Structures are given as C-alpha cells and as structure tokens.
Amino acid sequence: MATLQNILNTSGFKIGVELVSSRGTITQEKNQKAIHFGEQLCEQESVDWISITDNAGGYPAISPTDIGKFLQSKGKEIIIHLTCKDYNRNGLEAKAWELSSDGFSNILAITGDYPATGIKGIAKPVFDIDSIGLLYSLKQLNNGLDIGKKKEIRLNKTNFYLGAVVSNFKKNENELIPQYLKLLKKIEMGANFIINQVGYDAAKMSELIQFQKYKNLEHIHMIGNVFMLSNFTVNLFHKNRIPGVILTKPLQEKCLQEIQSNDRGKSFFLELAAKMLAIYKGLGYKGGYLGGVHNIEDYKRIMKIFASYGNDDWKEFVLELQYKQSNEFFMFEKDAVTGLTSSTLNPILLEKGKRTEHVNMNYTISKRFHKILFTKSKGLYNTGKNLCKKSNSKLNAPKWLYALEQTGKKFLFDCQDCGDCSLQEIAYLCPESQCAKNQRNGPCGGTLNTKCEVKDIDCIWARAYDRTKYNGDIWKLLEHVPVIQNHDLEGTSSWGNFWLEKDHCTN
Ligand code: SF4
C-alpha cells in the first residue's frame, strides 16, 4: 500500500476525509457510525486518506486510534490528529510510541482548542508544549531519541510523516502575519503537509498559495480545508463557537435563504463543498480535506459534482466565494478582476508600525534593560554571570538578586516565576500570566479580531507583532523557536538561569 508521503508526492489532486471520534465506547452509536462511514470511504477509489480527530472542539471522545484500528487494514492511509491540550510532553511522547507501535505513521500535530466541558465542568488545560514543541519532539523520535545522560543511548527510530495546520482566515495584520511566521516554523520543525483552517473566502485561500510561492515552499503539500455546512454548523460558525472558524454575515444570510428550500439547503451545501474543492484544485493546492460529511451518499454527491466541472470553472466560483470580513488585511494585494491575491506584497506590510496602545513605555524600557543585562559579554552580562556562579544558591542567583528580579517583574509583567523566561521572545509580554495556553512559539489559531479565544484580552502575539512592527522588525518575531519550557526551573531566578545557560535560550 502506498504511504501518504508517496500519495502526496504523486501528481493529481488528492482527497482526504475527516472522521470525528465521539464520546463513549467503541460500541456507542456515533462511534459505530464513524467506523461504518470510514469503511465505506475505504471502498472509494477517490479517497486517498482518512483523518481522525482528537477530542475535537475540546470535548472528550474516544481516542482516534480506537477508530483507526478498524480501518487500518482496509487499504487507505490514516492520519491521526494529536493535540497538546490534554497531555503533557511525556503523555504525548507515550502516545507517539503507542501510535508507532500500532502502525500509525501519519500525524497531524495541533496545539488544540481550549478544553471544553467534561465530567463536572471544564477540564484543566495542559498546553505543556504546543504544536511547534510537538513537531520538534516527534522529529527527535524520528531521528532516534537520545536518552543517554553521559553517553549516547538512542532509541529505535520512528517513521512519522508529519503535518500541521495554519489558521489563515484572520482579519487583522497583527493576527495574520504571526500565523504565517508560525507556519514557517512548523515547516522548519518537520511538517511536510499543511491543512488550513475552515474558511469561506477564495482570496484568503489564494493568499496561502501566494505565501507558499513567496517563501519557496513548493515542496510542502498544501491541503485545502472544505467543511460542508449544514443548518446547525452555519449558526455555530457564524456565532464564532469554533475558535478560528469565520462565517461572515453575508454567507450566513445566503445559507439561511437556501435553508428555506425544499431540501433545507442540502443541494446548496453539497455544491458549495464541490466548488471549494474545485477552487483549491485550481489554485494549485495538493489536495482537499473534506469535513462535515457524515455519510457516504453525501460524499459521493460532492465528488460527482466536483468531477462534472470543467478545468476553468473554478475561476467563476472564486468570484462567488468572496466572503471576507470587513476591513480584512491581506498580505498580498488583491486583484479585483480575478478575485484572488496577486504576487505583490501589500505595501502596508512594509510600512513602519504606528505607536499603538501596545507600544508603550514598559516595552521601550524593558528592551533597553534587556540589552544591558543579557547581551553576551557586554554591559552587565559578565557581572551578573559571575554573581550567580558564586552564589551556590538553589535559586541559581543570590537571594537579593532574585528578590529584586521578582519585585520588578511581578510589577511590570505580572511574572509568575516560571524561571525559564520568554519575555525577550514575545516583545516583553509574559506568556504565563497573559496567554491562556502559555503559547511561547507563536499564536494558537483561536483569536477572533485580535482577541484571545479564552479571555477577553488582546492576544499577546498580536501585541508583540505591533511592537516589532513599530521597530520595523516583523520578520524577527518568532526567529527564536522552538521554546520548550523547562519546568525544573520554576521558582528560580530566570536571570540567573539565562546567565548560567540553564534555560531554553541555551538548551
Ligand atoms: S515568562 Fe516566566 S519568568 Fe518571564 S515574566 Fe513570565 S512567568 Fe516570569
């Protein structure tokens, strides 16, 4: 059987279909339905792979492998989704060993939605590492993880083929560009294929391909996400109940109008999905990823409509699928005739940023202070290093210095004393106190109009972007990754840990 890697490396537009695992045992009706649908999909020549979700929407569900095991021998490749919300790095590593041992080799590495309600309330989120940390870790397993302390002891290599997601339907520049910068890091960390977030705007769909070309990433397989809408999901998406998914008012109104028809909008939804596949194909995506489809009849109808289109029909569909948000920012200039983005960079991107509320005195002073204290062999670097070396304290710094650090940082950044400081990488914003998911390698995909998916605050990465833009340094944001926080340093001096080369900046 051809591997997913082989499949994506051969010519032609490929099709994957999403199966959603549900709450309950494998005998639970919804899980049985998913398996049955999966088995029927395996019989379809047009299906290239099946993807299975991991606690989708943050809700508990049976493990994707429990469903995947029933489909493994049926002749189709399986992608298992692996998210960081419910397991720490050790749990994720254990999951990875289990996947490899069970013969699953395709993983979609995702940070994940914030956990939703479980037994007796909302679950405590984990987010020990993020998608970047997960990709980094899986890459280590593929290289044969070295667990030796004094001499090299390598474990058997895994053979994971890795993918990641990008949330590209973002409204504002300070949300969109950090998403693209994070995408670059996901690729650097080993992602071979990229699936974008659900969205219904052809211009943004084309922008991702422009970005791919702009960054010479043609060797990466872009897969276009096509979510077949329904009466239920139109409202769910329009009310922003699924983080990162945008369904604008004009599209909602169009759908509501179609729902009045005799088939309750079914033909419209099927056709919309087929048209989106055609657009993705026409734009040069490697494949389409079909979600929201739950029975084989719907799948067959979509594929029949898709197959009926002529080579250039997608260009017309592009003009129909223009459901962008008001004042939406695009990285590339739009072409009014085609409805797509051109290859010309948006001049706003190249402008120096304005002094917004996020570019404040705290930032300017912190930046200067950091330079004096932490530039190797300059300023107070050697003094600090020598003081900490001599201290012999468990705090990794003299007590008075630790007290001074904590007093200042608590006041300025609401420091939580993690000991492995990321302030310098997030334009002097603390991920522990100001990011619900403690994201240290770029934003998660959940923001809505710059606001955090969880709290009513601006995303720290959008604020950090404003700050770096003000300095004319936007491409430097996220240069630092991967940051994998060392929890062993909690309650110790982060200054001392930097000078003594114990924190993530050295490791
Ligand atoms: S990242 Fe850690 S050390 Fe730095 S300010 Fe936040 S809690 Fe404090």
For 261-273, what is each residue's pLDDT tens digit?
A: 999 999 999 999 9
Asked if 166 and 194 touch (Cβ cutoff 8 Å), the reply is yes
Atom 8 of ligand 1: nearest residue by CA position: 415
Least confident residue range of 60-64, 132-136, 226-230, 359-363: 359-363
Task: Return the CATH architecture of domain 1-166.
Answer: Alpha-Beta Barrel (3.20)
**Residue 507 pLDDT level (bands cut at 50, 70, 90):** low
Looking at residue 126, what is its pLDDT? 95
Distance CA(83)–CA(99), nearest Å, equals: 14
**pLDDT, mean of residues 182-198:** 98
Regarding the beta carbon of 418 and ligand 1, being less than 6 Å apart is answered yes
Distance CA(192)–CA(259), nearest Å, equals: 39
The string of pLDDT tens digits covering residues 318-346 is: 999 999 999 999 999 999 899 999 999 99
Q: CATH 3.20.20.220 region(s) of the chain?
A: 1-166
Regarding the beta carbon of 423 and ligand 1, being less than 6 Å apart is answered yes
Taking only Cα atoms into account, the Rg of the chain, rounded to an integer number of angstroms, comes to 24
DSSP 424: G
Distance CA(287)–CA(420), nearest Å, equals: 40
Looking at residue 358, what is its pLDDT? 83
Closest C-alpha to 269, from 201, 200, 325: 200
Looking at residue 481, what is its pLDDT? 74
Distance CA(270)–CA(207), nearest Å, equals: 24
Closest C-alpha to 43, from 76, 10, 83: 76
Looking at residue 377, what is its pLDDT? 87
Helical H segments across 215-326, by residue range? 231-238, 249-259, 266-283, 296-308, 313-320
Looking at residue 57, what is its pLDDT? 84
Regarding the beta carbon of 430 and ligand 1, being less than 6 Å apart is answered yes
**Residue 499 pLDDT level (bands cut at 50, 70, 90):** very high
Looking at residue 354, what is its pLDDT? 81
The H or E element that residue 150 is part of is: none
Distance CA(113)–CA(337), nearest Å, equals: 37
The string of pLDDT tens digits covering residues 363-406 is: 999 999 999 999 998 999 999 999 999 998 999 999 999 999 99
C-alpha of residue 416 to centroid of ligand 1, in Å: 6
Regarding the beta carbon of 409 and ligand 1, being less than 6 Å apart is answered yes
Atom 1 of ligand 1: nearest residue by CA position: 421
Q: Which two tokens stand for residue 232?
A: 């239920």
Q: Which atom of ligand 1 is nearest to the CA of 421?
A: 4
Q: Which atom of ligand 1 is nearest to the CA of 494?
A: 3
Distance CA(464)–CA(439), nearest Å, equals: 12
Using a pLDDT cut of 90, give the percent of the chain over it. Answer: 93
Closest C-alpha to 118, from 61, 35, 75, 49: 61
C-alpha of residue 23 to centroid of ligand 1, in Å: 37
Regarding the beta carbon of 415 and ligand 1, being less than 6 Å apart is answered yes
**pLDDT, mean of residues 129-135:** 97
Contacts of 240 (CB under 8 A, 6+ apart): 246, 448
Q: Which two tokens stand for residue 192?
A: 């071979």
**pLDDT, mean of residues 486-494:** 97
- The pLDDT mean for the chain works out to 96
pTM of structure: 0.96
C-alpha of residue 97 to centroid of ligand 1, in Å: 32
Regarding the beta carbon of 489 and ligand 1, being less than 6 Å apart is answered no
Pocket test for ligand 1, best of 366, 409, 434, 493 (most atoms within 8 A of CB): 409
Instruction: For Cα atoms 33, 238, 248, give the angle at the middle one, nearest 5 degrees.
Output: 125
Residue 166, classed as helix, strand or coil, is: strand
The H or E element that residue 402 is part of is: helix 399-413
Residue 97, classed as helix, strand or coil, is: helix
Q: Which atom of ligand 1 is nearest to the CA of 418?
A: 2
Atom 3 of ligand 1: nearest residue by CA position: 421
Regarding the beta carbon of 402 and ligand 1, being less than 6 Å apart is answered no
**Residue 356 pLDDT level (bands cut at 50, 70, 90):** confident
The string of pLDDT tens digits covering residues 398-456 is: 999 999 999 999 999 999 999 999 999 999 999 999 999 999 999 999 999 999 999 99
Pocket test for ligand 1, best of 422, 429, 441, 503 (most atoms within 8 A of CB): 422
